[in-house]
Amino acid sequence: MAVIYLIRHGQASFGSEDYDCLSELGRRQAGLLGAYLRARAPFDALLSGALLRQQDTATEIAGRFGARAPGVRVAEAFNEYDHEGVIRAYLPHFMAEVGAPRQLAEADVFRDHKLFEFAFRFMIKSWMDNTAHDHAPLESWREFCHRVSVGLEDVLALHGPKARVAVVTSGGTIAAALRAVLGLSNKRTLSINWSIYNASLTQLYYGRSARHEDALLLGFNSVSHLETEGGRELITFR
């Protein structure tokens, strides 16, 4: 059977001007995962999405393999969805339906962490529902899920039926992969998206058919490599 390890990137710089940058904690998380993989789950190939936080996580992981470090191959199929594009497209909808009746300004959404989370969930659901918007073209939810599904198929086709491949990606991408494998609804996929830890490990097993509907989920969102090294202070969602 082929094994695909889906790895969420380490903690990024949430709340800063450049989110797409690992924090010091994120680098530590990635290094600990790399040490764990070297000792317990070696793989034949290491792939990463093209985003900086994904590539830097992959580099930290590979660095723990020493002379046996695999090269990191970038695969844009595993990029995260465009969250900034989603906000631009659907913030006006949120303001019209929720913000204005509550006498909120757009600036209020970005000042209050809890309010932003509430607003972002509203915007993501609007994107999933393919709600019309007046902004520039945006990759649809359906297109995003198709991109991830095809990316997994390409990994299996390239590396063969017995390969062990690690893919460093993001929470939304992992949720979309599980949607393909488990046949999840949009609502369940969204719930899973919010629950995925930084530097977590999810394992998909594929038989000879290499079809998503025949794949097995034998590990989800594991952070035991972080818990044993540092406890709860190493466990983060963002």
Residue 208 pLDDT exceeds 80:
no
Question: Taking 80 as the threshold, does the pLDDT of residue 218 lie above it?
Answer: yes
- Between strands 72-74 and 2-8, the pairing is unpaired
Which of residues 14 and 178 earns the better pLDDT score? Answer: 178
Other beta carbons less than 10 A from residue 72's beta carbon: 20
Question: What does residue 46 show for φ and ψ, rounded to 5 degrees?
Answer: -125, 120
pLDDT in tens, 16-58: 566 788 999 999 999 999 999 998 877 889 999 999 999 999 9
pLDDT single digits (tens) 82-116: 999 999 999 999 999 999 899 999 999 988 989 99
- The pLDDT-based confidence of 129 (bands split at 50, 70, 90) is very high
Structural domains of the chain, ranges and CATH numbers in brackets? 2-80+140-234 (3.40.50.1240), 83-128 (no CATH)
Per-chain mean pLDDT for the chain: 92
Token representation of residue 115: 């309010």
Share of the chain above pLDDT 90, in %: 74
